Homo-oligomer: A and B are copies of this chain.
Amino acid sequence: MQLSSCKCFRETFVKSEDFVAQKIVVTKDSSRGVHFRRAGPREKVYFKSDEVRACVVTCGGLCPGINTVVREIVCGLNYMYGVNDILGIEGGYRGFYSKNTLKLTPKVVNNIHKHGGTFLRTSRGGHDTNKIVDNIQDRGINQVYIIGGDGTQRGAALIYQEVAERGLQVAVAGIPKTIDNDVAVIDKSFGFDTAVEEAQRAINAAHVEVESVDNGVGIVKLMGRYSGFIATIATLASRDVDCCLIPESPFYLEGTGGLFEFIEQRLKENGHVVIVLAEGAGQDYVAQDMHAFEEKDASGNRLLLDVGPWLSQKIKNHFTKVQKMAINMKYIDPTYMIRAIPSNASDNVYCTLLAQSAVHGAMAGYTGFTVGPVNSRHAYIPISRVTETQNTVKLTGRMWARLLASTNQPSFVTDNEALNGEKAAGINNVEISTQS
Give residues 66-89 of A contacting B (CB, 8 Å): 71, 75-76, 79-80
Tell me if A102 is interfacial: C-beta within 8 Å of chain B. no
CB distance from A244 to the nearest CB of B (A): 13
Q: Is the CB of B345 within 8 A of A346?
A: no
Interface-forming stretch among A202-210, A260-268, A285-293? Answer: A202-210
The distance in angstroms between the C-alpha atoms of A344 and B346, with both chains bound, is 11
Point out the residues of chain B lying under 8 angstroms from A31, CB to CB: none
CB-CB under 8 A for A116 and B26, given A214-B123, A396-B11: no
Point out the residues of chain B lying under 8 angstroms from A319, CB to CB: none
Q: Is the CB of A209 within 8 A of B25?
A: no
Tell me if A310 is interfacial: C-beta within 8 Å of chain B. no
Tell me if A19 is interfacial: C-beta within 8 Å of chain B. yes
Tell me if A162 is interfacial: C-beta within 8 Å of chain B. no
Q: Is the CB of B24 within 8 A of A234?
A: no
Point out the residues of chain B lying under 8 angstroms from A212, CB to CB: 62, 117-118, 121-122
CB-CB under 8 A for A346 and B405, given A27-B18, A209-B340, A340-B205: no
Tell me if A334 is interfacial: C-beta within 8 Å of chain B. yes
Tell me if A305 is interfacial: C-beta within 8 Å of chain B. no
**Copies of the protein in its oligomer:** 4
Interface-forming stretch among A43-51, A193-201, A276-284, A380-388? Answer: A193-201
- Taking a contact as CB atoms closer than 8 A, the residue among B123, B332, B352 that contacts A402 in the complex is B352
Q: Is the CB of A239 within 8 A of B71?
A: yes
Q: Is the CB of B12 within 8 A of A398?
A: yes
Write the A324-346 contact mask toward B (1 if CB under 8 angstroms, else 0). Answer: 00000011111011011100111
> Which 3 residue pairs are nearest across A and B when measured between Cβ atoms?
A237-B345, A208-B340, A205-B340
Could you tell me which A residues sit within 8 Å of B by CB distance?
6, 8-12, 15, 17-21, 24-28, 35, 38, 40, 62, 71, 75-76, 79-80, 91, 110, 113, 115-118, 121-123, 187, 193, 196-197, 199-202, 204-206, 208-209, 211-214, 233-234, 236-239, 330-334, 336-337, 339-341, 344-346, 348-349, 352-353, 356, 375-377, 396-398, 401-402, 404-406, 408, 415, 418-419
